Structure 1
Amino acid sequence: MQKYMKAGLLIIVLVVPALVFLYLKTFGENHYTLPKFVPLIDSTSGNVMMKENPNPKWNEPKMDTVFHTIPSFSLTDQDGKTFSSEGLKGKIYVANFFFTRCGSICPKMSSQLTRLQDVFLNSPEVTFISLSVDPSHDTPEEMKKYAKEYDAKEGKWFFLTGDRKQIYPLAVKGFYVPVADASEYDKAVKTPDETFIHSEKMILVDKEGFIRGFYDGTNKKEVDRLMMEIKVLQKIYETEK
């Protein structure tokens, strides 16, 4: 009897793991998810806008939420070249708002972006854009010096300037982050840091232009989370190929 029990245990030890492995290999599937942000609201009803899911899987709803996408824009980069958002299609990118004279949060954000750039240096589908909220001062020449200070790689990290009437609405209505020029309503402000009010958030945007996350760019742990979620997005696109 004891002999048969030992034989049975041996079978369990050897066979069960093999069966589990075969099951996982055959039926197992890795699932990577990352939410989309900023659902669109129907202005007449106040309800979230929905659209029909053309090919729903068994566990997916028949209707999908309609989400905001980043609008098209055209600005000037640190080399004085026209930078069109068309070049961001098919890329995962991180955006933030800054200005070169900023002495408060911008150096922290830019240092963290340098760190992110180094991690994804060999990932051509990942890029970075920093948009100036002080475009009257931040000429391409000024941004070029700033880019060099933070070791921005050509073709990887772009610093953008242009018309303030375009950049400010793009920040608020496009990337959903606040920005303001305090001198417009407070004539007592004197320093650049008092004048230009902008967010410390970094915004993760996917290849289709959907916002996938907001992160405190001055906080290393938050930027670590951003780093991880970029990798999650990369995995999502890999599994969809």
Structure 2
Amino acid sequence: MKLVLLGIIGLALTVAVAIGAIAQRGGARSAPTLAEGPYRGSEPPAGFELPAFALRDQEGTLIRSGGFRGKAVAVTFLDTQCEETCPIVAGLVADGIAALPVDEADKAVAIAISVDPDEDTPASVRTFLRRNRATEELHYLVAPRATLAPIWRRFQILSSYESGDD
């Protein structure tokens, strides 16, 4: 039950970040509404799967999405330069993972994927996670824009560059 709750919280946070990115984007170009996209909030649509990726986290460890099979995965999208929503999201996700009983903790993982790869360096990510008490619980994945763009599209996320918020 706690894994289901963690999954719901993670998905809800992802939707909140997506809505915030769309709202902050302004009128640059019209974006599809949430009703038009395949994502429906805390319940992923049938057939929705974590896209395949191999990205490095803040410590340089290669994290492969295929390694998460059989686990509950909380996914969020963050920007280390963000000072309002992102610290709250990072803290909530970390608290959710930290609250899991030991026998369930190995069945869950939390990842944050950068939406500002030009600014999210391993050093800035480590500082961000330390400041928001999420160092142990959250793998913050970074890569060049060209590597992250297909992942953003799969999740219908705007990067800081695309939203003009960079």
TM-score, length of structure 1 as denominator length: 0.46
Q: How does 1:1-241 map to 2 (within 5 A)?
A: 37-39=44-46, 67-120=47-100, 122=102, 123-154=105-136, 156-173=137-154, 176-182=155-161, 194-195=165-166
Corresponding residue number in structure 2 for 1:56: none
Residues 8-54 of structure 1, C-alpha deviations (whole Å, 9 max, x = no match): xxxxxxxxxxxxxxxxxxxxxxxx9x995224xxxxxxxxxxxxxxx
Residues 196-233 of structure 1, C-alpha deviations (whole Å, 9 max, x = no match): xxxxxxxxxxxxxxxxxxxxxxxxxxxxxxxxxxxxxx
Q: Which is strand-richer, 1 or 2?
A: 1
Query: Structure 2: which amino acid aligns with 1:37?
Result: P
- Tell me the distance in 1 between the aligned counterparts of 2:121 and 2:112: 13
Query: Structure 1 residue 167: deviation in Å?
Result: 1.5
- Tell me the distance in 2 between the aligned counterparts of 1:137 and 1:181: 10
* Inter-CA distance 148–180: structure 2 relative to 1 (3 Å threshold): closer
Unaligned runs of 5+ in 1: 1-31, 40-66, 196-241
RMSD: 2.6
Query: Structure 2: which amino acid aligns with 1:170?
Result: I
SS in structure 2 at match of 1:75: strand
- Tell me the distance in 2 between the aligned counterparts of 1:138 and 1:121: 31
Whether contact under 8 Å (1:131, 1:161) holds in the other structure is yes
SS in structure 1 at match of 2:159: strand
* Inter-CA distance 84–136: structure 2 relative to 1 (3 Å threshold): same
Query: Structure 1: which amino acid aligns with 2:158?
Result: V
Q: Percent identity?
A: 23
- Tell me the distance in 1 between the aligned counterparts of 2:158 and 2:129: 22
Unaligned runs of 5+ in 2: 9-41
Whether contact under 8 Å (1:76, 1:140) holds in the other structure is no
Corresponding residue number in structure 2 for 1:47: none
**Greater Rg over alpha carbons, structure:** 1
- Tell me the distance in 1 between the aligned counterparts of 2:101 and 2:148: 27
Query: Structure 2: which amino acid aligns with 1:138?
Result: D
Corresponding residue number in structure 2 for 1:232: none
Does 1 or 2 have the higher relative contact order (CA < 8 Å, sep 6+)? Answer: 2
Q: Which is helix-richer, 1 or 2?
A: 2
SS in structure 2 at match of 1:144: helix
Query: Structure 1 residue 73: deviation in Å?
Result: 0.1
- Tell me the distance in 2 between the aligned counterparts of 1:140 and 1:73: 18
Query: Structure 2: which amino acid aligns with 1:179?
Result: L
Corresponding residue number in structure 1 for 2:12: none
- Deviant stretches of 4+, over 3 Å: none
Query: Structure 1 residue 178: deviation in Å?
Result: 2.3
